[in-house]
Amino acid sequence: KDVQKEREPHVYLSKEEVKEKIQSYNSSVTDKLKMTLNANGVYTGFIKVQLELCRPITVQSSQSQERYAPSNQETAFYLPDGCVNTLHISSTNTVREVIEALLKKFFVADNPAKFALYKRCHKEDQVYTCKLSDREHPLYLRLVAGPKTEMLSFVLREHETGEVMWEAFSIPELQNFLRILDKEENDQLQLLKSRYAAYRGKLEEALRGVLKPG
């Protein structure tokens, strides 16, 4: 169940409370992805983000390319559904910074404004997916929820169609989307024609059997 955008109430914990929560968190970790508390009160740790992208992403073939700028050395393709990536972040990193870091890790040239980070959690035997505010702190949410992804997980998606900032796309990207849509439309048309041809063949075969002189 998808719910509206939510700003998680941020409870300001004392350094001692943070220390206790981190100790409790680390004692429950099973994948060695523990959190570390620094002397200045900032803590670092890991979050896993599942990618649920419906549209193709544009990836740079060279790391030296200027980000978000059209280039002949860019390739658009679909990421495998359900791909999960692990990020090492700090408690000061916001949702927007996490999205930017994730895209940078994959050398994605698309503008971060095209994407949103969601939290997925279990409440009363139901699964809720909620868009997070850009200023939320994912590692804080991870600490409060504990290390179990069944209780809380993060998902990267595109903005809904009505929320898409089309001006953030370059002309080559938009043209590439149209080419992909044309290809998908043609593939579906050929598949539909094939199914109807097979159905027609079976009907004609049945009719020949019925009309055959006895």
The Cα 37–Cα 22 span in angstroms is: 8
The Cα 30–Cα 142 span in angstroms is: 15
Amino acid identity at 196: Y
Per-residue pLDDT of the chain (214 residues; tens, 9 = 90+): 555 455 555 567 888 999 999 999 999 998 889 999 999 999 999 999 998 888 778 787 654 444 444 455 667 777 777 789 999 999 999 999 999 999 888 888 888 888 999 999 877 778 888 889 888 999 999 999 999 988 899 999 987 655 556 666 677 767 777 777 788 788 888 888 888 888 888 888 888 777 766 5
Of 90, 113, 97, 91, nearest in space to 167 by CA: 113
Alpha-carbon distances, residue 46 vs 18, 79, 87, 178, 199 (angstroms):
16, 22, 6, 37, 54
Q: Is the dihedral of CA 13, 19, 24, 29 positive or negative?
A: positive
